[in-house]
Every structure is written in structure tokens, then in C-alpha cells.
Amino acid sequence: MPDRALGRFSSLIAKMLWGTFATSTATTGVQAIEYLRTNRPDLLVVEESIPGGGLRFCELMAMSPNFSDLPIILMSVTPSPDGILRARAAGVNTYLAKPFRPSELQKRIDNIFAPVETSQDPAEANPASAAVVQDPDAGKTIRDRLKQIEGLPPFPATHAQILELANSDKSSSEEIAEQLQMDPSLLASIFKMVNSSAYGFQKKVDSLKLAVTLLGLEEIANLVMTAQIFKNLGDYEGGSGFDRDGFWKHSVGTAFITRTIAKKLQTEVESAFLAGMLHDLGKVVLDRCFADYYRAVLDQCEKEHLWIGEAEQQLLGLTHADVGGQLATEWKFAEKYLYSILHHHEPEATGRYQRLTSLVHIADHMCRSFGYGSGGDDQVPELDPAVLDRFSLGERGYGILVGLAEKELEGASSFLAALSSG
């Protein structure tokens, strides 16, 4: 039997567990994740109505490698079919409707820690009584659960279609144009970016066929992805107080620097821009879907002068790179982008696409060093010296890259303005 349970307990529920369990109490979801920094309970008992959201708390636990295996009892005064489905997706073991008898709570706890041969179909559960969903998603991976988080937009369909055309030997610029013309707003955004000073064309480009001829199909596909990511993930209300404008500025700056150093080093040139643009997407997911919890991360960064990844790991049990990697899997990004997102802070840890991941690592460090945009904290992550060795970069060679990167940010600002006005 467990020796500890964690949740938001009323005096009545605490009495139900008294004498059988050692209990610790948290009155908000944020207090709960702070408690989990230094404690490992055997069971979580969560009230759906806690500040920060009990369901959101469960979803966060489900995504975290540190906590995804913790059994959870989720209690609710007003259970709903949607709530039960979301609880299932988050790996909640038991969804318990209030009020309930002490024996009901004890039964649910006993069932969690005892082998169960059969499970109740949640569709048969009576919302007016104690409803139970036993081990609803056994074997389901953390990445599988991300797709069911409420409020997360679907993958930009247009980009998938454009990429398919870009990778086809039989496609033409006319087919690309036909696809984009179905979305006038997106097409307008593409022209604004193409005509920004970032590309330096002397004459205005107002023909998509000409744009494809000048930039190539893959670059157009990258611009489509950039515009759709900016629109789909960046357009939401609320949030944790995370500096979204600074975030997009940092993302664009990192994209430009990644491409610049890729050209100089003559490696991964076609993939560099998009890899730099996508590297921090996990931060937007955390800000958008888990605002109260991410606010605690930002507060921790400020109070203890921590790098945001360290604060994320301490409080949430996962980082923005982990979440970004989960999103990349769900949205079926090319593998090279998945790896560069997952490992841009530790390129030596990836077994594949180390050169692209290393380019993003360098560019992210440079962009932070320049103070261009915001990564959510005031720290500059350390540059892995093994990355410089990979490209045979000494002090002089790295200095040349820094000079090129700093100049490139002028074009990045123009590009960002065009992107924002789309």
C-alpha cells in the first residue's frame, strides 16, 4: 500500500485517509508541482476545480517523463463526458464523482495498487454516482497524449501539401501556386516575407511562379510553415506572462543565424532556416496550454536566476525541448527537425542529424548573446565546446561567424515585421 497521497483535501477527505496514509496537501496545481520537485508520492489525489485546473495538472503529469507513471485519482463535483475523455487521455486511473463514501475512495485506491483483470467502460459510468475509469490508456506513450491536449491546434495542412509537392519530381511552380491561392491570406504573407529586405530583391516579387524560381520549392515550403506556425500557435489569449513578441523575435533571429552559419560552413543549408525557427516551439505550447504552471517556471527563473530549461525540468519534470519534440512527432515534422528541436541544447546527445542540431545550438547561443528577442529568462545557455570541434572552429573562426551573424539580424528584423503584419 502507498504511504503517501497528494491532492487538494477537504477536512472530510483528509479524515477518510487518516490512519491509513501519510498525506501532504497542496491547494493549487502550482503548489503541487513545487511539492513534486523534492518529493515522490505513491499516489496523486487531484480536485478538478483547483486553481490552475485539475485536468491541466493531470495532462502536464502525463507529458512528463518524471511523473507520467504516477497513479492519479481525479475528483469532480460536476463530471462530464468531455472531462472523463480528457482524464482518460491524460492517463488518469480513476475519475471519481463527488460526493462519495469513504469506502468508495478506499476502493479506488485499493484497485489502483492491486491487479485488475477487467475495467469499466467509461460510457457505462453513471455521472450522478462515483465514476471509475481503470487504467484507461495503459501503454500509451507521452507523445501519444500530447495530441489530445485541449486547445492545441492541428498541424498546418497547407504546409504538408506544399512539402509533398516540393518533394515530388513531377510537381511544378504552377501546382504550388494553385495550392497557395486557395488561402489568399497565407499567400499575402508569403509575398510580404519574400519582399522583405531579408532577401534583398531589387524588384518587387508579385508572382508566385517567380518566387519559386528565385527561392526554390523547399524555401517556399519553409516560408509557408513559418507563416502557419506563427498564425496557428501564436494566436491565443491569456498565457503565463511569457514574452511572446520576444519569443518570435528570438525564433526568427535564430533562424537567420542558423542559415548564415550553415552557408559559411557549407552544410545543411536547405534545412537550417526552418530548424532555427522551430527550435523553441515547446515554450509556446507550455505557455498556451499550461499558463499557471508555466508562470511558476518564469517566476522561478526570475527569483533564482535560472536558465528556463533548468526551471522547467525542476518544476515540470520536462523541458520545452521535450514538449517541442512531442509536438514535432504529432505534427509529423521531418525527422531532422524533430532531432534538432529535441537536442538543440545538447547536440552531443542525439545520434542523428548532429550537424543540423549543432548549427541550431550555436545560433541559439549567439542570438541569446546578442540579446535579440527573449528566451523567457535572462541567461545565456552554455556553448558546448564539442560543437566547435565538430566544425573545426577555433577562436578566430568562431569570431568570423559571430560577425556574420550580427549583420544578419538586420534582415531578420525586416522579415519579422513582414511576418507580423501578415
278 exposed, middle or buried (CB, 10 Å; 0-12, 13-18, 19+)?
buried
Helices (H), 64-130: 81-89, 102-112
Q: Are 361 and 258 in contact (CB under 8 A)?
A: no
Which candidate, 7, 6, 2, 78, places its Cα nearest to that of 42?
Answer: 2
4-146 adopts what CATH topology?
Answer: Rossmann fold (3.40.50)
Chain centre distance of CA 259: 23
- Amino acid identity for residue 359 in this structure: L
Q: Residue 126 has what pLDDT?
A: 38
Q: CA 79, CA 100: separation in Å to the nearest integer? A: 13
Cross-strand partners of 149: none
Which candidate, 173, 161, 159, places its Cα nearest to that of 208?
Answer: 173
Q: CA 18, CA 71: separation in Å to the nearest integer? A: 19
Strand (E) or helix (H) holding 358: helix 354-370
**Superfamily of chain region 236-421:** Hypothetical protein af1432 (1.10.3210.10)
pTM recorded for the entire structure: 0.79
Q: CA 345, CA 360: separation in Å to the nearest integer? A: 9
Helices (H), 113-216: 142-146, 157-166, 173-180, 184-194, 208-215
Domain ranges of the chain: 4-146, 236-421
Q: Are 177 and 211 in contact (CB under 8 A)?
A: no
* Length of the chain counted residue by residue: 422
Q: Residue 330 has what pLDDT?
A: 79
pLDDT tens by residue, the chain, 422 residues: 444 444 444 556 666 777 777 778 888 889 988 888 888 888 898 989 888 889 999 988 888 888 888 899 999 988 888 888 888 888 898 888 888 888 888 888 888 888 655 444 443 443 333 333 333 333 344 445 555 666 666 666 666 676 676 666 666 667 767 777 777 888 888 889 999 888 888 899 988 888 888 888 778 888 888 888 888 788 788 888 899 999 999 999 999 999 999 999 999 998 999 999 999 999 999 998 899 999 999 999 999 999 999 999 999 888 999 999 888 887 878 899 999 999 999 999 988 899 999 999 999 999 999 999 999 999 998 999 999 999 999 999 999 999 999 998 988 988 888 888 76
Which candidate, 343, 364, 363, places its Cα nearest to that of 353?
Answer: 343
Q: Residue 354 has what pLDDT?
A: 95
Which residue's C-alpha cell is 506556425? Answer: 229
Helices (H), 240-353: 244-265, 269-278, 281-289, 291-304, 308-316, 320-330, 335-342
- At residue 95, φ and ψ (nearest 5 deg) are -105, 115
